[in-house]
Chains A and B, each alone.
Chain A
């Protein structure tokens, strides 16, 4: 109702013209995200397409969809221990890393969001620089470090190595979310006689539950997609799926179908976790700072 006098003030024709223009723009607006999503899906479609083809068909030439549909590649991956252990290994070190990162980042992020202490700004910046450190720089020293403490080729080596960039990220995101919680809540709780650990677990953590979820998601994501360190730090027992894929690509010739099927299966865990955080994902990417 409040808009009516305003629209009356503008000549009716001009208003109508503007309204049509706006409606046309709105009608075409969905085109931009749609085209973008189609662009995103094309390579994924191609990978799925390849994964259902036989090797002979792939090498025979271009075809937009599988002529002789086969699930042999998937059967091979799901029945061959070398293959499926690659996935299990990857998931194990990713989960260990996520748990460590979130657990140690929680109190640290609280400290950064609530207190000023000696060297806090420098420390925060130093943490961030580790998120920025190129893994290629660290690959070789990591190999030597983890070999010397006897952790080479274990889940722990990869999980701990990934802490290098996941902990700073977790602290950064959690700090953003925590700063959004008013400080009065802490003070009231302390006056009510809560000890710090009890306040933190019982009152504070539920308040930033979505932030914790998003942080865990990001730790999962960055540990899951990182392959250079994971490959460098393992050889047999904790070999991640990436290493299995590279070996297949080089030793058993040109098995594109198998490689494509393995690729498709690596997309699935990501797609599952993304579904759970879909409502918070935008805020999470903004590191809780919106």
Chain B
């Protein structure tokens, strides 16, 4: 669509700008402020330059939390994206069953995050939870409160349970926008199932899949409540992801300078990834509009 040049459009954006700026800029400035100071309690602050940043970036604790975060995000993306696409492909495209599927699948997305954590906490209890009891009676030695492997298995499974539906819904929306004529043409040409997927369905889903990867990346990168309620970051530090570590430092240990520097580094990383995806998306939009 061609847009008209009109700077008065700023007035339409102004309310949004004011509300979001109040919530974004003031707290962000506070964080920046803390990150370059040292505090010894009693509201005494001293300028300390970049020492907090250096301390964070060289601390083993932060590096390990970061590595765990990348591992977690990588694993869940590798599982959720293909699984979501596969389920969307197998779903009924229209009719009552399609609606039933959509409503049931969207249900996990609407459960408060702390309830998701509590639910999985109960579900995975080794003695009285269905999952824990089931795995143990199948002969696995499973206990998420004291085994890192079990804990990781549980938080990954929980995230798959919680968010795969988002990918399904996005992929499904992409699939439904494909005109029936494409399929008929493919059938006449005798195209294989794989060819239909590769040359018709995948290109049509590309746009929504970029959104899916972006949202899943970002949301898994800032995940806090669910693993916190489920494992509390334990056993030990095995499932202490970035956000959990951050809240521990800020509210638990009241180590403001360090926590703030961590926040800024963390925020810049999300920003970078966000920008990459955004460029990818808008470039694609521009190309489609041009052609």
Contact = CB atoms under 8 A, between A and B. Distances in A.
Main secondary structure, interface of B, reads helix
B247 interface: yes
Interface string A249-290: 100000010011011001101110111001101110111011
Given A36-B168, A140-B256, 7 more contacts: A39-B161, A41-B104, A110-B12, A136-B247, A225-B110, A256-B122, A286-B174
A133 B128 contact: no
A77 interface: no
Contacts of A164: 20, 23-24
A163 B208 contact: no
Nearest to A53: B128
A46 B123 contact: yes
Interface in A234-255: 241-242, 245-246, 249
B186 interface: no
B251 interface: yes
13 contacts: A30-B92, A107-B12, A107-B15, A108-B15, A123-B13, A123-B17, A132-B218, A134-B263, A164-B20, A225-B110, A279-B99, A286-B208, A289-B208
A246 B114 contact: yes
Contacts, number: 281
Given A47-B122, A132-B271, A144 B30 contact: yes
Contacts of A139: 247, 250-251
Main secondary structure, interface of A, reads helix
Contacts of B12: 107-108, 110-111
B120 interface: yes
| Interface size band for B | 35 or more
B5 A116 contact: yes
Contacts of A39: 161
Contacts of B13: 107-108, 111-112, 123
Interface residues of A, number: 103
A273 B208 CA distance: 24
Nearest to B166: A285
A59 B84 CA distance: 37
